[in-house]
């Protein structure tokens, strides 16, 4: 599976050919630099390592700085491996939005927005404990009963309860590319993608 590293710019809407308004996300995809080409003979598997985004050399690990110098490029913010590039790539080569075409379907991987510590109604969609009857007081958003009786006398693992919500890796699949703007390195994808504006995403083809 080939792809690029990008940055979520934000959401907007455009009109489709049928005149319907479509919610879409704008992603700055690349340009990415090929930093390593891994082979079965040397590394045991085939992959292409690419990097994206700029950062200062003093903030980049020394081991990675050596990789960037071999690729004749500046230190980058994000680095990821893709397996399945059809074309032969060389170290130092630049990859742009030319990799994608309008009408294609891609998968987008990102880190969802962190919501902090949330209750069961927001986190799992619980309905709360009953209505305003039988003398209920201040229990509308409570989780209700958690455990069983004397056997097994404990709360089972995996019980849906309150806790940290968001801030996890999320993949959205089969998102259509509505527009590719090569001059600005932007692609417009139908629908939403995980993460806040400015966050890094991986576009998998």
Q: What is the pLDDT of residue 140?
A: 82
Percentage of the chain modeled with pLDDT above 90: 56
Query: pTM for this one?
Result: 0.83
User: Which tokens go with 147?
Assistant: 């455990």
How far apart are the C-alpha atoms of 97 and 106, rounded to whole Å?
13
Per-residue model confidence as pLDDT tens digits over 168-195: 999 999 999 999 999 999 999 999 999 9
Q: What is the pLDDT of residue 51?
A: 93
Q: What is the pLDDT of residue 33?
A: 92
**Would you place residue 34 in the very low, low, confident or very high pLDDT band (cuts 50, 70, 90)?**
very high
Q: What is the pLDDT of residue 132?
A: 63
Please report where in the chains the tokens 């019980």 appear, as a residue: 159
Q: Count the Cβ atoms, other than its own, within 10 Å of residue 186.
A: 17
Task: Supply φ then ψ for residue 62, to 5 degrees.
Answer: -60, -35
Do 49 and 38 meet the contact criterion of CB atoms below 8 Å apart?
yes
Residues 6+ apart with CB under 8 A from 80: 5, 49, 50, 202
Helices marked H in 111-167 — which ranges?
Answer: 120-124
Please report where in the chains the tokens 């080569």 appear, as a residue: 93
* Chain region(s) in the chain for CATH 2.40.30.10: 3-118+169-204
Half-sphere exposure of 112 (CA within 13 A, CB side): 12
Q: What is the pLDDT of residue 181?
A: 93
Per-residue model confidence as pLDDT tens digits over 129-143: 766 666 777 778 888
User: Which tokens go with 130?
Assistant: 């009953």
Helices marked H in 71-127 — which ranges?
Answer: 120-124
| Long-range contact pairs involving 54-60 (C-beta distance under 8 Å, separation at least 24) | none
**Lowest pLDDT segment from 19-23, 81-85, 147-151:** 147-151
Please give the CATH topology (third level) of the domain spanning 3-118+169-204.
Elongation Factor Tu (Ef-tu); domain 3 (2.40.30)
Residue 154 pLDDT > 80: yes
Do 82 and 46 meet the contact criterion of CB atoms below 8 Å apart?
no
Neighbouring-strand partners of residue 50: 34, 80
How far apart are the C-alpha atoms of 99 and 202, rounded to whole Å?
13
């Amino acid at each position: 599976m080939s792809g690029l590293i990008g940055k979520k710019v934000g959401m907007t809407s455009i009109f489709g050919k049928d005149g319907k308004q479509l919610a879409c996300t704008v992603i700055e995809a690349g340009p990415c630099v090929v930093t390593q080409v891994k082979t079965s003979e040397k590394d045991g598997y085939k992959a292409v390592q690419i990097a994206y985004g700029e950062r200062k050399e003093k903030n980049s690990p020394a081991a990675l700085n050596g990789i960037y110098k071999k690729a004749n490029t500046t230190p980058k913010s994000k680095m990821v491996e893709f397996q399945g590039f059809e074309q032969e790539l060389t170290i130092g080569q630049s990859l742009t939005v030319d990799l994608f075409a309008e009408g294609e379907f891609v998968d987008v991987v990102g880190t969802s927005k962190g919501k902090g510590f949330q209750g069961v109604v927001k986190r799992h969609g619980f309905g709360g404990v009953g209505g305003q009857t039988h003398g209920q007081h201040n229990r509308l958003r409570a989780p209700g009963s958690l455990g069983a009786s004397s056997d097994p006398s404990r709360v089972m693992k995996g019980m849906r309860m309150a806790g940290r919500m968001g801030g996890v890796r999320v993949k959205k699949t089969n998102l259509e590319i509505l527009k590719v703007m090569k001059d600005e390195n932007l692609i417009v994808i139908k629908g939403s993608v995980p993460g806040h504006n400015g966050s890094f995403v991986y576009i998998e083809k």
